[in-house]
Amino acid sequence: MRCNEYRFCEFRTRNWSHKVRSPRLAQYVILLVILAIGSIAAAAQCDVYIPGRESDAAYVLNSVTDGTAAIVPVGHGPWAAALTPNGAFVYVTNTNRANGLVVSNSVSVIDTTAYQVVATVAVGTYPVGVAVTPNGASAYVTNYVSNDVSVINTSTNTVTNVIATGLNPWGVTITPNGAFAFVTDYGSNNVMVINTATNTVAATVPVGTGPNAVAITPDGNFAYVSNSVSKNVSVIDTTSNTVVSTVPVNGPRAVAITPNGNFAYVVDDGTDYPTSGEVTVINVATNTPMTTVSVGGSPRGVAITPDGALAYVASYTGDVSVIDISTNTVVDTVHAVSVTDEGGGVAIRPDTSSPKCR
């Protein structure tokens, strides 16, 4: 088959006695070819939201081209990002810059279709972590300095509750059934379990030293907590709210669970910090490190695509490493934007027609 630049195709065979004699059949074959070419051109793509702390903007990467789809100005010192379940909005926490001389203490709400901020919500002091409930009704924001959690009504984008925590609340995630929010208290070395129906503390779980990030398995049975100071990951049974396993990891900073619940991807300092970092892959069934993947220096944030094919790792040095989960190898490295040195929350918005990102 030969096609010209307008995709009109000419079919040839080596044995002319077998050439297509039916015009309708030939047209049908041509149509199939054109549809196949069109499907390749229209490959599914995702938007990867990365808070750029020093640039006061959220950078949006196109997962197919690795190019910048948009740069959205937000508040000062953006830290983390969380997507609403319907993919319509991304919530970005804004802290401060210049050693606290430029302060925001707010959350920017980004319209993912227009790539622009449609609301700014004042919260507590130095907001870092953010998570949206599975029903999309509320966003939970950890305020590191004021030692509390702000609960935002996403319909009105107003704070409806403030929940006192331990010292320096950092990471936050919501159970798949939406019943509880798990909050890491960095300064208290524990995890607070908040009942989202009453917005009261249901349990406090002691973990390692310096807990920062937390992620929950898709079945809701376990929470994985990265402890940056004690250099390990605590595994919490969410039914009993007790630690059932501790996994050694060298300076963990963030954690994400694959959609099938089989693996936990933990970004950590590695052995050559700050020159390079790594991602430790934990087997959830055995709670043992399975392998490590070398990435850019000082990795601080990680998110996994909805189809479980890729992991995006953001670093303080500005590199974004794309890991193929099937092989645990880096398939792309994009120099995009520097996240905060303490941690950076990455959010991935899939195409509305497919969970795939490539």
Give 112-123 pLDDT, tens digit per residue: 999 999 999 999
Cα torsion angle, 356, 238, 255, 119, sign: positive
Q: CA-to-CA distance for 52 and 228, rounded, in angstroms? A: 22
Nearest to 92 by CA among 355, 352, 340, 350: 340
> Class for domain 43-349, per CATH?
mainly beta
Kindly state the average pLDDT of the residues 289-305.
90
pLDDT given for residue 322 in this prediction: 94
Cα torsion angle, 9, 10, 13, 16, sign: positive
| Lowest-confidence segment of 58-67, 215-224, 283-292 by average pLDDT | 58-67
Is the per-residue pLDDT at 9 higher than 50?
no
Please, which pLDDT band fits residue 98 given cuts at 50, 70 and 90?
A: low
pLDDT given for residue 351 in this prediction: 79
At 2, list the tokens: 């030969």
Q: CA-to-CA distance for 255 and 350, rounded, in angstroms? A: 20
Decide: 346 and 93 in contact? Cβ < 8 Å: no
Is the per-residue pLDDT at 39 higher than 50?
no
> What are 133-168's pLDDT values in tens digits?
999 999 999 999 999 999 999 999 999 999 999 999
Please, which pLDDT band fits residue 296 given cuts at 50, 70 and 90?
A: confident
Kindly state the average pLDDT of the residues 91-114.
88
CA atoms within 13 A on the CB side of 332: 19
Decide: 108 and 117 in contact? Cβ < 8 Å: yes
pLDDT given for residue 337 in this prediction: 65
218 Cβ neighbours under 8 A, 6+ residues apart = 176, 257, 259, 260, 261
- Beta pairing, strands 89-97 & 310-315: unpaired
Single-letter amino acid code for the residue at 237? D
Is the per-residue pLDDT at 236 higher than 50?
yes
What order do you get walking across the sheet with 138-143 strand by strand?
A: 127-132, 138-143, 148-153, 158-164
What residue ranges of the chain are covered by domains with CATH 2.130.10.10?
Answer: 43-349
Kindly state the average pLDDT of the residues 271-300.
87
Q: For residue 16, what is the DSSP state?
A: G
pLDDT given for residue 29 in this prediction: 43
pLDDT given for residue 232 in this prediction: 97
